[in-house]
Amino acid sequence: MRLKWSDSLSILRYLIRVSAVIARFLKKMCKILKKFCTQVGRQPLKVFLMRLPWVGIMVAKGYSVRKAEQGDLAAVMQVERQSFEENIVEAESVFADRIAYVSDCNYVLIKAGTQSVCGYFTAELWDASPIVADAFALGHSVRERHQPAGTVLYISSFALLPEVRGQSIAEKFFVAAIEHIISVFPQLKRIILLVHEDWHKAIRIYEKQGFIRIQILDQFAWFGNKRAFIYEKTI
């Protein structure tokens, strides 16, 4: 079967248009690849990948860590409610601000099979001025407290769903998040956190990772007047 001249001309025009689209696509991909190679050259590949919200880094078999996104809020709040007593559960708006204003300090633990969020880690940077008890208030404004050039990393919250605990995953998640933050913010000198006196498993993780108890807050108001411990680690 012979093609008419008009048909051949139409096919040729179509191929030209397709070629133009492919050329534009390849040009765009070359720019992306060039930028990727430049960024990787400036920092470890693992750090660069974790800065991409859709990329997860494996921390244990079946589990990975990636940056938290606003779309994770519902799942993060589920973890929050299943991890803490009602009187110390922080509001969704608090986590929304943390993710929006301190993106490189907030991470989620992802279960590979379902791609569901089963844990979260939130932190912010503070300056090195004397830290008073009120600074640890639950629900404090990260917009007011976070200092991008700060040298103190404050771990504001860290939790996993009950079914994920007891598998050594919590500690691996905790360590991976801290390592990445330190890589992104090389000016950091120390890490601090606050823990309820009854959270014995969390305390074991912190002490195993070299955190030292430096202060006891008696009758800490935000913990229902229970004692709270401040832990610190020098980087």
Q: How many CB atoms lie within 10 A of CB 187?
A: 11
> Which tens digit of pLDDT belongs to each residue from 135-177?
899 889 999 999 999 999 999 999 999 998 888 899 999 999 9
- E strands, the chain, are 57-60, 63-67, 106-111, 116-126, 152-160, 190-196, 212-220, 226-234
pTM for the predicted model, two decimal places: 0.75
Read off the pLDDT band of 103 (50, 70, 90): confident
Compute CA distances 136 → 50, 51, 130, whole Å: 28, 27, 13
Q: Are the C-beta atoms of residues 120 and 79 closer than 8 Å to each other?
A: yes
Q: pLDDT (tens digit, 9 = 90+) per residue, 15-37? A: 677 666 676 776 676 666 566 55
Question: pLDDT tens-digit profile of 174-215?
Answer: 999 999 999 999 999 999 999 999 999 999 999 999 999 999
Cα-based distances in Å from 12 to 2, 170, 199:
15, 60, 72
pLDDT at 122 > cutoff 50 = yes
212 within 8 A of 234, measured Cβ to Cβ: no
State the Cα–Cα distance between residues 52 and 117, nearest whole angstrom: 17
- Residue 55: band (very low, low, confident or very high) from pLDDT cuts 50, 70, 90: very low
CATH number of 43-234: 3.40.630.30
The 8-class DSSP code of residue 154 comes to: E
